Structure 1
Amino acid sequence: MEVQLLREFVCLAEHLNFSTAAKELFIAQPVLSRHIADLEYALGVQLFARNKQNVRLTPVGAAVLGEATTILAHYEAGIQKIRLAVAGFAGQLTIGFLGAPVKSFFPALISRFRSTYPNVDLQLSQMNLGALATALKRGDIDIGFTLSFDLLSISGLCWKTLYADSLAVVLRQDHPAANENKLMLSALSRENFILLAPEESPSLYNQIMTLCAAGGFSPKVAKLAAFPENALLMVESGIGVAVLPRHIKEYAGSELRFLDIAGGSTGFDVVAAWGEVHSNPTVPLFLQELEDLQAAGSLR
């Protein structure tokens, strides 16, 4: 049954006049009469009682009118959702993120996007570095807020730098070197180290090992942590020292100190990454909101 037949039926039911309904529908009166007859035949019922003087709904026609009105409302709503989705104003957007580096701006960004595009269903997942890299590689997420360490090893990605960051040495406040502003890693060659597990971010792990090698030693690894927050707890517990991204300081207590590392390359970028080829029309809309927030100087 064509939707247009239902529209014509509802229009005629509202006016109870073939001539008036035909004019509103921009069709000839005989065409409308034939279409209503086709609809009655398809349903196997008489919808209108009509003679030369008047047209009225039959009891069955009144019941069909209620259902037809509901069907048309659902149909129009569905078409609108499809149009919105095609235009990028509806649908689903899956975002993976690291907690600490986006803590200062992520709530405002999500709030802005939801306000502008209320019909887009946002799926937000906090992950660690390794899981984010895997999700981006597999296309399990549309956009990932992560660090630049492992992105060069993943083909087919685009990314936008949000801000620059660096690695830092994390010590307890009672450590002899805690009051230094900058520290050579070689000064910690006898310490136990807490590092993020290499499977979580091979590039980050390798960079730390390279920094230690440049200082003339191989670190004695006491523990491997899956999350930076776990590494902070281990340092706070006196298990050892750590080398972590400076933005992790967001989660550090006052008893911990973050020191710059003297010598070697310690910089990296906090980025938003997405697939170079994607079919989700909401991705560029979200990236535009992100760019607007960055232009306003609100990313950090």
Structure 2
Amino acid sequence: MSAFNLTPSDPSTFILTGIPGLEAAHIWISIPFSMFYIFSLLGNFTILFIVGKEETLHKPMFLLICMLALIDIGLCTCIVPKALCIFWFHSNGITLDCCLTQMFFYYVIGLMNSAVLVTMAFDRYVAICHPLRYATILTNARIAKLGLVGLIGAVLLILPAPLLLRRLPFCTNRIIPHMYCENLAVVNMSCGDTTVIQMYSLMLTFVIIGLDVLFVGLSYGLIIRAVLRISLKKANRKALNTCTPHICVLVMACSTSLFSALIHRS
């Protein structure tokens, strides 16, 4: 417990424990964390550089990949630098405003990731079911507008959560058993009535997951129907192969999000 010598006498100060039970191994844990963070930055910036320099890649699908790269950079940067400060320097303290800011950006970026994945499903639907109209339906300008709409929607949906939390009183024990400010952990530290914020978070989760599953499922249902109508096996296989990268990204994103949610709630 030497890492927690900071007494949370200031009501605006929280303490992040890092990884509970593994405080003695934080230095060793920081090595893969820092390596993966560096590789993530290098890989995503390389994607952005290549797509930016190569004019032949200035197409809707590659713009969506660039959005995913920016989202990955933002998501890592929201968590890993503070986590490394905890691992290396035992800098466990975080103010309420910084905690809520981190939480806000983390969930906004997460919603943006969800919106981009849904847009990619729509992109694959148009490419397979309406190939002749693809260039007119999905232009670069329209993809940029969809990205902007996704960002504005994410901000408007997430903003009430930190504002509601900011008004709640917090108990004396302000230790967060994570390496970043997770919504449920912060809510559980409040001594006030958290019914509204918990109901809003639950409703938001079900609405977002429900809409994502609905839109992605609808897109791939129409794609499968169109593929089954193709008589040539080669064309059939080619159509399905265009969906493979998106399906892989979708499975990875959903599995990691589900794993994180289950871990926090257990």
**Pairwise same-fold verdict (TM > 0.5):** no
**TM-score by structure 1 length?**
0.20
Compare CA radii of gyration and give the structure with the larger one: 1
Q: Which has the higher contact order (CA 8 A, sep 6+)?
A: 2
Report the TM-score when normalising by structure 2: 0.22
Structure having the higher helix fraction is 2
